[in-house]
Amino acid sequence: MSKIQASQALARFKVLDLSRVRAGPNCVRILTDFGADVIRVEPPPGIDPNEAMFAANRGGGDFQNLNRNKRSMTLNLKKPGALDILMRMVKDADVVVENWRPEIKNKLGLDYESLAKVNPRIILASISGFGQEGPLAGRPGFDQIIQGMGGLMSVTGHSGSGPVRAGLAVADMSAGLYAAIGILVALHEREVSGRGQWVHASLLHAQIAMMDFQVARYLNDGDIPVQVGNDHPTSSPMGLFEAADGVFNLGASGEGNWVRMCKLLDRADWLADPEFATETLRVANRARLNALLAEVFKSGTVVHWVDGLNEVGVPAGPVYTVPQLVKDEQVRRLGVIESLVGPEGKAKHYITQPVRLERTPAQVVAQAPGWGEHTEEVLAEHGYSQAEIRRLQADAVV
Query: From the CB of residue 368, how many other CB atoms can be counted at a distance below 10 Å?
Result: 24
CA distances 78 to 24, 40, 43, 128, 296, Å, are 21, 17, 9, 21, 67
- Cβ atoms of 21 and 30 within 8 Å: the answer is no
Q: Which residues have CB under 8 Å from 103's CB, separation 6+? A: 138
Query: From the CB of residue 231, how many other CB atoms can be counted at a distance below 10 Å?
Result: 19
Tell me, yes or no, if 172 is annotated catalytic: yes
CA angle at 47 for the pair 43 and 48, rounded to the nearest 5°: 85
Convert 337-362 to b/e letters by CB count within 10 Å (16 or more is b). eeebeeeeeeebebebbeeeeeeebb
Beta strands 37-42; 71-74: pairing state = parallel
- Cβ atoms of 34 and 354 within 8 Å: the answer is no
Q: Which of 172, 273, 307, 328 is catalytic?
A: 172
Helices 213-221 and 203-211: angle between axes, nearest 10 degrees: 70
Residue 342 region, left (φ>0) first, then alpha (ψ -120 to 50), else beta? beta
List, in sequence order, the alpha helices (H) in 312-374: 322-327, 329-334
Peptide bond into 237 cis (omega under 30): yes
Rg (CA), the chain: 25
| Cα–Cα distance measured from residue 350 to residue 33, given in angstroms and rounded to the nearest whole number | 11
Convert 198-209 to b/e letters by CB count within 10 Å (16 or more is b). bbbbbbbbbbbe
Q: Which helix (H) or strand (E) holds 171?
A: helix 170-193
Catalytic sites, residue numbers: 172
